[in-house]
Amino acid sequence: MADSASKKTDQPTAAARPRLMLMDGHSLAYRAFFALPAENFTTATGQPTNAIYGFASMLANTLRDEAPTHFAVAFDVSRKTWRSAEFPEYKANRSKTPDEFKGQVELIGELLDAMKVPRFAVDGFEADDVIATLATQAEALGFDVLIVTGDRDSFQLVSEHTTVLYPTKGVSELTRFTPEKVEEKYGLTPQQYPDFAALRGDPSDNLPGIPGVGEKTAAKWITQFGSFAELVERAEEVKGKAGQNFRDHLDAVKLNRVLTEMVKDVALPKTPADLARAPYDRTAVTGVLDVLEIRNASLRERLLAVDPGAAEEEAPAPAAAAVSLDGSVLGVGELAPWLESHAGAPLGISTVDTWALGTGNVSEIALASAGGAAAWFEPSALDEADERAFAAWAADAAKPKVVHNAKALMRVFPEHGWTLAGVAMDTALAAYLVKPGRRSFALDVLSQEYLHRELAPAAADGQLAFGADDTAEAEALMAQARAVLDLGDAFAVKLPEVGAAELLHDMELPTSELLARLERAGIAVDQSHLEAMEQQFAAAVQQAVKEAHAAVGHEFNLGSPKQLQEVFFGELDLPKTKKTKTGYTTDADALAWLATQTDHELPVLMLRHREQAKLRVTVEGLVKMIAADGRVHTSFSQTVAATGRLSSTDPNLQNVPVRTDEGRAIRRGFVVGEGYESLMTADYSQIELRVMAHLSEDEGLLEAFQSGEDLHTTVASQVFGVERSEVDAEMRRKIKAMSYGLAYGLSAFGLAQQLNIEPGEARGLMETFFERFGGVRDYLGRVVEEARATGYTATVFGRRRYLPDLNSDNRQRREAAERMALNAPIQGTAADIVKVAMLRVDKAITGAGLKSRMLLQVHDEIVLEIAPGEREQVEELVRREMAAAVDLRAPLDVSVGVGPDWESAAH
């Protein structure tokens, strides 16, 4: 585009006029919010950052392309301005600001403060009034002015020395409005624009237009009469129905004209001369980006590149001296002597390996020592002596190894006949224990953060990207091995500082070794059963499509939100749901609500269609993941959930429904493998609530557990003040939802939504519960305040979760952190207990010389494969070891089931 502002060619020279750039912060942040999906830009604490990210990206690009000498950003304060005083309906039609947007403007302000960018917000005025004032003052002082805004009213400020940069595609493309561009688009001068806007009206500001008068007519009248004032003076000369409509709405149009004129004399604390760009506080800038978990290297580089103080920096921020490696590309017969010379000290390991469908391969290995020696070799090129030497070193628990993601190596090494023992440090797990809420545990990210050392970044397949030639690849892999080793030293200091050294060595590393064996073992599946289910769900999807078409009377795309909106709210005129940028929502919650508001069958059919489609996709994914051995080999992760819970992928077995008939039918496809007689499942009954009872020391809740009676019925009888025999299913359901909700930081509003009751009723239910169980109330209050004081929560086992946002001035971030503070000790302790239980059970099975083995851990449930004749012995040791995992005031209760498939083994 010729008028695009993507690149500015007429950059100012030393002799040029000073250039002031002014931004409408609210306008641009709001556009950024809708340009980027919030679900893709959210911190671990739940703070959306899409508006911040989009604004920062546009800010960096515009500063780079326009090179202003002076810069400021203006924000709105509230909707209460002189315009709303003149016209109470001004902007009254605007929907409530999305919750996901709230708080982001304040955080943008923090970023601007770190960048030393002046920002203005004046009570009673809008951002465009502040901009108009500064622009007018600046032009009079000999400045060129650039106004970056999504408000077209700013076109009235355009002149020979003032240009408006208007976003025309999200916030990534700006169109340059000069006097010529305004006249080309509207046929008017910039000075005539407010006259035109008054006649046209503005739906976004709720300014009424004139019936039958659009932009073309409004522009024609202004051109014909010269100005709005002249048009009003000669109103009787305007012919036709449009003229009569103009006269009928003259008072409203006159008010429009007052409101569309920007104020140019707002009292401000700074003048344009005070807005000269200043060097960043670079530490503060990176600190804000770190807190917001904005780690995109390109964005950071662009922001820092336009720092006026960048040229004054003598060197990049503190960086470690370059590490000198004495690297060797080893040939045949050279690995054994290298190991003999260097393997007495800890070595860092880095590999290039693959793993899929239960099998894998290691194609390259690099080793590095603290003394600077490093070696690279290809396992396929080892001779017999080298192979023996490497296998002996890898299996020697007395030879310390430092690894990044040891589980991956423990899983793939056996493919070469190797065992990995003696892992003294896993830098991925250590980074997780130090800061469990971080987004990335990639080696290159950690190296940059802790060592100030650049490494080859991770590629899309999870491997590390190297140069094109073999030498560069070998050198890069050796550099990574050395970074792993040095990170190990850094975390050896960090872990004790956060009380996590024992957690790493006593819980997480042993769990890694166990999970590697689980992943290699996999679980057998009945492929024909799953394929039949896939066909069943596919047929159900097609049937739902046919019934939906019949219910409406014509075909439509059930996967098109736009067509669904037309059918639901146009053709059928069903009650309106929550409005989004693209129209009224038809998500699952909206469909469930519509099903209760109308007798029409379409919402129910749509829910069934989506449920069956999701099940079909789930089963299809499982079938695709069946390996050559007839088993599914999921991958477990210890670093995804900040609370310590395990997650699974490829396939995600936590996606298999547990409480529906279809889900149970899918679980029947997971079967006992050849050479074994049954599957066994074991888990804890109500573990989170038992942990909550233990931590709160509430006597009533502890007594309810110790009585051996149904917990939810017992608690319901106390909360509702009735005999246990009088507790009905609805009472029990409410208490169960609330009890688990309290353990997960659920609010009264969240409970209301979950139970489909009014917030007032939910609040009353919680208050009554707290009256009966005051210890729980006191604990929940105490845990947040203690975390606010210390900065972290901790599980019974000492696992910490740091929550700096507990003291944030931003309400949204603070409340999100408070919910995490409630949840982390309970869910985290439960997760720790399950890990301890897994390790105890595995050790007991091995110690007893049994052939039975553990296969899975899903949703806190352990699944085992039982060898012939070992059922009773395994069940006894499983119950014993799991019950003894930790000593709680509310005793652990273990449930065990046995059957030929996963579902039949349920209990």
**Lowest-confidence pick of 301-310, 774-783, 822-831, 854-863:** 301-310
DSSP code string of 542-588:
HHHHHHHHHHHTS---TT-HHHHHIIIIIIS-PPP--EETTEE--SH
Rounded Cα distance, 62 and 172, in Å: 10
Fold category of 688-828 in CATH: DNA polymerase; domain 1 (1.10.150)
Q: Which of 602, 581, 583 is nearest to 592 (CA)?
A: 602
What pLDDT does residue 337 have?
A: 96
Fold category of 531-625 in CATH: Taq DNA Polymerase; Chain T, domain 4 (1.20.1060)
| pLDDT interval class at 693 (50, 70, 90) | very high
Taking 50 as the threshold, does the pLDDT of residue 466 lie above it?
no
Half-sphere exposure of 707 (CA within 13 A, CB side): 14
681-685+830-899 has CATH 3.30.70.370 classification: yes
CA distances from 367 to 340, 347, 473, 566, 701 (A): 13, 6, 14, 62, 55
Q: Which residue has the tokens 């302000």?
A: 109
What pLDDT does residue 13 have?
A: 42
Residues 689-693 have a mean pLDDT of: 92
Residues 219-230 have a mean pLDDT of: 74
Domain residue ranges of the chain, discontinuous segments joined by +: 19-183+263-297, 327-521, 531-625, 681-685+830-899, 688-828
Rounded Cα distance, 199 and 873, in Å: 87
- Could you tell me where the beta strands, DSSP code E, fall in 358-485? 359-369, 373-377, 401-403, 423-426
SS3 (DSSP) at 276: strand
Rounded Cα distance, 465 and 520, in Å: 27
538: which residues sit within 8 A by CB, 6+ positions away? 616
pLDDT (tens digit per residue) in 620-637: 999 999 999 999 999 999
Residue 815, H or E segment: helix 811-847
Between 300 and 639, the more confident residue is: 639
Taking 80 as the threshold, does the pLDDT of residue 853 lie above it?
yes
SS3 (DSSP) at 528: helix
First-residue to last-residue Cα distance in the chain: 66
pLDDT (tens digit per residue) in 239-262: 777 677 677 667 777 777 777 788
The rounded radius of gyration (Å) of the Cα atoms in the chain is 33
Q: Tell me whether residue 740 is exposed, middle or buried, using C-beta atoms within 10 angstroms of its C-beta: 0 to 12, 13 to 18, 19 or more.
A: middle
What pLDDT does residue 6 have?
A: 41
What pLDDT does residue 172 have?
A: 65
Q: What is the CATH number of domain 19-183+263-297?
A: 3.40.50.1010
Taking 50 as the threshold, does the pLDDT of residue 12 lie above it?
no
Residue 223, H or E segment: helix 215-225
CB 495 within 8 A of CB 501: yes
What pLDDT does residue 249 have?
A: 67
Q: Tell me whether residue 420 is exposed, middle or buried, using C-beta atoms within 10 angstroms of its C-beta: 0 to 12, 13 to 18, 19 or more.
A: buried
What pLDDT does residue 705 have?
A: 87
What does the chain come to in residues? 907
| pLDDT interval class at 15 (50, 70, 90) | very low
Taking 80 as the threshold, does the pLDDT of residue 159 lie above it?
yes
Superfamily, domain 327-521: Ribonuclease H-like superfamily/Ribonuclease H (3.30.420.10)
| pLDDT interval class at 469 (50, 70, 90) | low
pLDDT (tens digit per residue) in 545-584: 999 999 999 999 998 889 999 999 999 999 988 877 678 8
| pLDDT interval class at 481 (50, 70, 90) | very high
What pLDDT does residue 314 have?
A: 41
Cα 737 from chain centre: 26
The domains spanning 327-521 and 531-625 adopt the same CATH topology? no
What pLDDT does residue 1 have?
A: 36
Alpha helical stretches, state H, 313-395:
335-342, 384-395
Rounded Cα distance, 174 and 214, in Å: 26
| Residues above pLDDT 90, as percent of the chain | 52
The rounded mean pLDDT for the chain is 86
Taking 80 as the threshold, does the pLDDT of residue 591 lie above it?
yes
pLDDT (tens digit per residue) in 439-463: 789 999 899 889 988 886 544 444 4
Rounded Cα distance, 567 and 559, in Å: 12
Residue 473, H or E segment: helix 470-497
Residues 524-543 have a mean pLDDT of: 96
CB 279 within 8 A of CB 32: no
Alpha helical stretches, state H, 36-69:
50-66
Compute the 3-state secondary structure of the chain and give helix, strand, coil in percent, each to the nearest 5. Answer: 50, 15, 35
195: which residues sit within 8 A by CB, 6+ positions away? 188, 222, 227, 228, 231, 257
CB 680 within 8 A of CB 864: yes
